[in-house]
Amino acid sequence: MRRLHAVLCSSLAFAAAAPVGHAQYELSFTTLGVENTLSGSSGSSLGTITPEDIAIVGPQTGVYSAETLLDHLNLNTLAGDGDGDAFYYEAPLAGRIDALEVCGASADFTARDVFFSTKLPLPCASGGVIEPGDVSGIRIGAGANPMIDDLQIRTALGISPNILSFDVDAVARDPSGALFLSFEQDVPILWGTQMLFDGGIAVIPASALTWADCMVTAVLPDAGFIAANENLINTMVVNASVADNVGNFIQVVFDVDGLELDPNGGTFTSGSGTFPNLIFSGEYLTGGGILSTAAGGSIATINGIPMATAFGWGATDGTQVGLAPGGVGSLDGLALTQPTCRFVMDSSTPFIPTPGPLNLAAGGADPGELVYVYARIYGVDVPGGFQPSVPAANPCFPEWYLWNTYLFSLPADALGIVDVTLPYGGGVPAGNNVVFQALTNKTAGWSLSAPITLQF
């Protein structure tokens, strides 16, 4: 097996992150409830989208189905044992991924370019806690990597420290550097002179934010304001004339939960200014509906596909974003990108305290291509530890998790998935965690998967 390792490792060194060169968009999103992919993902655990998973749908997924981009087990591995309880598998981890943004080049973004907000505080093993009011990523080495944090948002919008339940639930970054935000609760802003309802949208203009790459390094106090209040958003919802997941007319948004720039451009005007058109999801937009501020309120269109069903034409059933129909709820976070490399591991058996089944799944391989699965026993669980990784240039997950044990290789099925359940008879000492990572040759080059950790 040494030779195989040598071949694969040298292949990684030559892999280049070449642009995919596709004009169409992919939509990354999170969901308010548990949903299933339209494809079924070959019956693997990748076919379940929980509120702690990030899904992606678009032209690169083969069939038009949402698929897992990053599973909660991947984020668990990235964050490490942040709560220091010497237990490396946490469920729930972050409650929900309730806001999503991709920063940097939107072509060929990787897991480290994904920024998000959480419902619960997410402690990171090597430093920092991602608070519900932050928008953050997790940097290599398991530390919080904020795009903008709770305190900066409070400063820019004049939100009192006495407001304890402060939770970002939608974010969109204008290429100009402005940030659009919505919150989970109604929040008094500008020192109580205005109320931003949960169905409204605030803006922090670019002139009030200093950026270093994808991180806000300074904010101007009290420079943000309401871009669209909840009444305006509700008017837009009515104007869109959109059906919910049982075909009923939707009259109010209830809560804006996801935001992104409208890929079709244009602007909207409110009482406070003129802004780029935004697309948004919301709590009453069931069936995974997405609307736009364009034309006074309309059904959003991505790659020419309407993102909801017009009232009178049946239900919005979720298939427009690649979810399996049947009571599909609303979308939570939204982020549009150019098509990107997707290769991810998951498992339906994250905690294996005694001998029994051990499930490993990988998704996003090219159909028929061999998927190589590797592992590394991290060792006896220490409080606050995390699985070490090193940067590795490849089109998919940008780090190698230092695996040293080859497990198996199998060809991916027609959906690009390998799903194996092995009889695990013991062998890993109890109280150890094991990191798994897959490798495959994709059209874009030799690619590493997002890693998972199983707890023994």
Extract the tokens encoding 450: 């997002």
Which residues inside 151-170 make contact with Ca ion, applying CB under 5 A? 167-169
- Residue from 52, 53, 83, 332 touching Ca ion (CB under 5 A): that is 83
Query: Residues 150-159, buried b or exposed e (16+ Cβ, 10 A)?
Result: bbbbbbbbbb
Which residues inside 225-244 make contact with Ca ion, applying CB under 5 A? none
- Residue from 117, 347, 449, 453 touching Ca ion (CB under 5 A): that is 117
Min CB(405)–Ca ion separation in Å: 24
Q: Which lies closer to Ca ion via its Cβ, residue 203 or residue 324?
A: 203
Q: Which lies closer to Ca ion via its Cβ, residue 59 or residue 121?
A: 121
Q: Taking Cα atoms as reference points, which of 403, 454, 400 lies closest to residue 432?
A: 454
Q: Is 406 in the site for Ca ion (CB under 5 A)?
A: no
Q: Which amino acid is present at 357?
A: P
Q: Is 134 in the site for Ca ion (CB under 5 A)?
A: no
Burial class, 327, CB count within 10 angstroms (exposed 0-12 / middle 13-18 / buried 19+): middle
The span from the CA of 175 to the CA of 162, in Å, is 32
Q: Which lies closer to Ca ion via its Cβ, residue 98 or residue 101?
A: 98
Extract the tokens encoding 240: 């869109």
- Residue from 87, 211, 311, 406 touching Ca ion (CB under 5 A): that is 87
Min CB(202)–Ca ion separation in Å: 10
Cis ω on the peptide bond leading into residue 19 (within 30° of 0)? Answer: no
Q: Is 245 in the site for Ca ion (CB under 5 A)?
A: no
Phi first, then psi: give them for residue 441, nearest 5 degrees: -95, 105
- Residue from 182, 286, 293, 309 touching Ca ion (CB under 5 A): that is 182
Do residues 172 and 147 make contact, with C-beta atoms less than 8 angstroms apart?
no
CA 305 to chain centroid, in Å, comes to 21
Q: Which lies closer to Ca ion via its Cβ, residue 116 or residue 436?
A: 116
Using left for φ > 0, alpha for ψ between -120 and 50, and beta otherwise, residue 445 falls in: left
**# chain residues binding Ca ion, by CB under 5 A:** 14
Q: Which lies closer to Ca ion via its Cβ, residue 365 or residue 452?
A: 452
- Residue from 4, 34, 85, 160 touching Ca ion (CB under 5 A): that is 85
Q: Is 256 in the site for Ca ion (CB under 5 A)?
A: yes
Stretch that binds Ca ion, among 85-93, 317-325, 352-360, 389-397 (CB under 5 A): 85-93
Q: Is 81 in the site for Ca ion (CB under 5 A)?
A: yes
Using left for φ > 0, alpha for ψ between -120 and 50, and beta otherwise, residue 288 falls in: left
The Cβ-side half-sphere exposure at 270, using a 13 Å CA radius, reads 23
Q: Is 444 in the site for Ca ion (CB under 5 A)?
A: no
Min CB(169)–Ca ion separation in Å: 4
**CB neighbours of 241 closer than 8 A, spacing ≥ 6?**
249, 310, 311, 312
193-212 footprint of Ca ion as x/- string (CB under 5 A): -----x--------------
Residue numbers at the binding site for Ca ion (CB under 5 A): 81, 83, 85, 87, 98, 117, 132, 167-169, 182, 198, 255-256
